[in-house]
Amino acid sequence: MDERLKPYEEKMQKSYDFLEGDLATIRAGRANPHVLDKLRVDYYGTPTPIQQVGNVTVPEPRIIQIAPWEKTMIKTIEKAIMTSDIGINPSNDGAVIRLVFPELTEERRKDLVKDVKKRGEDGKVAIRNTRRDGNDALKKLGKAEVSEDEIKELEEKLQKMTDKFIKNIDKLVEEKSKEILTV
């Protein structure tokens, strides 16, 4: 890998990783503990991820269970979940909090797939913008520093890198769509 292309590959990788994390937070009928990733609870004045104040488990396919390490945190965790955009009301028995995920309707599944595809497109746009920035930078290298052939070769490598990331995004979107549509 040419050192001059390294920053663009890193940018593309970051765009891909962001999309992957973003898609993990979309619930697909099954309970996925990643839907809690963006949630923060007030732990002694500090916004803290739920995973750091309790044990998050999936005892059944459509249930997430949160067992706080301190019983005093139950109300705080419950409040954080209710004010979030998860759309599920927590229930607690005094020791653990349970989130029961309802079965998704066919219409809701199709809406989620559209959303996943839109996010995938946004990810591809970010990758293509990185490629454009890279091509602009390569053109600015000037003929004094490198030959035209070398610039062409670097542009081709950048294009291959772009194609690889676009293909990976397509695969990611396809897998997530399949997961959502599976009843």
* Cβ neighbours for 123, distance < 8 A, ≥ 6 positions apart: 15, 16, 18, 19, 169
Name the token pair of 86: 């998860």
Which pLDDT belongs to residue 23? 84
| Domain identity same for 127 and 174 | yes
Number of domains in the chain: 2
DSSP 122-148: HHHHHHHHHHHHHHHHHHHTHHHHS-H
| Domain identity same for 53 and 120 | no
* Structural domain that includes position 118: 6-24+105-181
Which pLDDT belongs to residue 162? 94
Tell me the pLDDT of the chain (183 aa) as tens digits: 678 889 999 999 999 999 998 888 776 667 777 778 778 888 888 888 888 888 888 888 888 898 988 888 888 888 888 887 777 788 888 888 888 887 778 888 888 899 999 999 999 999 999 999 998 888 887 666 778 888 888 889 999 999 999 999 999 999 988 888 876
Element (H, E) at 98: strand 97-100
Which pLDDT belongs to residue 138? 83
| Domain identity same for 86 and 52 | yes
Smallest Cα–Cα separation from 15: which of 128, 100, 97? 128
CATH number at residue 146: 1.10.132.20
| Domain identity same for 139 and 175 | yes
CATH number at residue 79: 3.30.1360.40
| Domain identity same for 93 and 147 | no
The span from the CA of 95 to the CA of 99, in Å, is 14
Among 76, 100, 124, which residue terminates a domain?
100
| Domain identity same for 54 and 96 | yes
Angle of helix 106-140 relative to helix 6-24, nearest 10 degrees, comes to 170
**1 within domain boundaries:** no
